[in-house]
Structure 1
Amino acid sequence: MSTHANQEPLNSHQPEAKPQDLPPDQPGSVSPGAEAEAEAEAGEEEEGECGFCLFMKGGGCRDEFVGWENCVEEAESNNEDLLEKCAQVTAALKRCMEAHSDYYEPIIRAEKLAEEQAIVELEKEKQNQQQPPPQDQNLLWSLIMWEIANTCG
């Protein structure tokens, strides 16, 4: 059996060290404890937050949404009338979303569709019961927002 002079034994090269192979005390490495701590902190911020809420808080109406969310939670915990208690913050959120429609367009579109469907349902109910549908569009809008937010949690 012949060997070429330029061939080296297979085990003559040691693999190069990779960043993940560095011991935790070397620069450029992250200790497992610090990594786990960072993940836990990130999880705390997102814990309980649904995609809808994260989306709403990601745009220009974060403060208005948080105010609306707090109002809804307070109304629910105190058994207060949500529509009456939160009418002003709902209107402010709606105005803000319309002012930032470039970001909130998917939500606005979904709300308009839900509003149209709700009006159709109310008209059917009106014909069955001969009761007029509510005229305040902010009330309907608030109900739609509340329904969307409650599907998250």
Structure 2
Amino acid sequence: MSSPSPSKNPAESQTVAPATDSSPPPPPPPPSDQGGESSGDSERPNSVAAGGDGEKNGGEGEAGDVGEGHEDEEEEGECGFCLFMKGGGCKEEFIAWEKCVEEADQTGEDVVSKCFEVTSLLKKCMDAHADYYAPILDAEKAMTEAATTATTTPDSE
């Protein structure tokens, strides 16, 4: 009965290679939140993140808060887009934008008009950190070009 004895040399049996810890998570397909034209898409990342735990940024114990005691779980359950945005140099600007959108959603205000200033600040910051935010900026540019192409119809002659 010859069974392998992995405990012969503990250093050899416990090899761990942390090679992927330094790379950021891949960015999810971004919604059109920086363009400021469609408020429905700009609310989407926050709606996903606010699935029950997102009241941490906007609500302060209002009636119906289901995420009151789950503030520590917010970071774990946060959407990939939000994690990506907070992983770059514009974390503070994104948090301010996210909070503004959540407040507008809760009060029923128009997101585009209420959050125009913080959206502009976030966009400027992302442009300044284009090396990190390139996937988002490129997707926004492509969506803007597609929308422009879709609105210019050749049948209008």
Bin for the TM-score computed over the shorter chain: 0.5 to 0.7
Q: Which consecutive residues of structure 2, in runs of 5 or more, have no partner in the other structure?
A: 12-70
Match of 2:75 among 32, 42, 45: 45
2:21 matched to which residue of 1?
none
CA displacement at 1:17 relative to structure 2: 7.7
Is the partner of 1:60 in helix, strand or coil? coil
User: Is 1:97 aligned with 2:126?
Assistant: yes
Choose between structure 1 and 2: higher helix proportion.
1
1:63 matched to which residue of 2?
92
- Evaluate the alpha carbon distance shift between residue 10 and residue 85 of structure 1 in structure 2; reply closer, same or farther with a 3 A threshold: closer
4+ residue stretches of structure 1 with deviation over 6 A? none
TM-score where L is the length of structure 1: 0.53
- Matched residues, number: 95
Aligned-residue Cα RMSD (Å) equals 3.1
- Evaluate the alpha carbon distance shift between residue 75 and residue 16 of structure 1 in structure 2; reply closer, same or farther with a 3 A threshold: same
Letter in 1 for 2:75: E
For the pair shown, the structure with the greater C-alpha radius of gyration is 1
Provide the rounded CA distance (Å) in 1 between the counterparts of 2:116 and 2:122.
10
Q: Which consecutive residues of structure 1, in runs of 5 or more, have no partner in the other structure?
A: 1-8, 20-40, 129-153
Provide the rounded CA distance (Å) in 1 between the counterparts of 2:148 and 2:140.
12
- Evaluate the alpha carbon distance shift between residue 98 and residue 15 of structure 1 in structure 2; reply closer, same or farther with a 3 A threshold: closer
TM-score where L is the length of structure 2: 0.52
Between the two structures, name the one with larger relative contact order (CA 8 Å, sep ≥ 6). Answer: 2
Provide the rounded CA distance (Å) in 2 between the counterparts of 1:111 and 1:105.
10
- State percent identity of aligned pairs: 51
Provide the rounded CA distance (Å) in 1 between the counterparts of 2:94 and 2:129.
13
Provide the rounded CA distance (Å) in 1 between the counterparts of 2:113 and 2:91.
22
Letter in 1 for 2:82: C
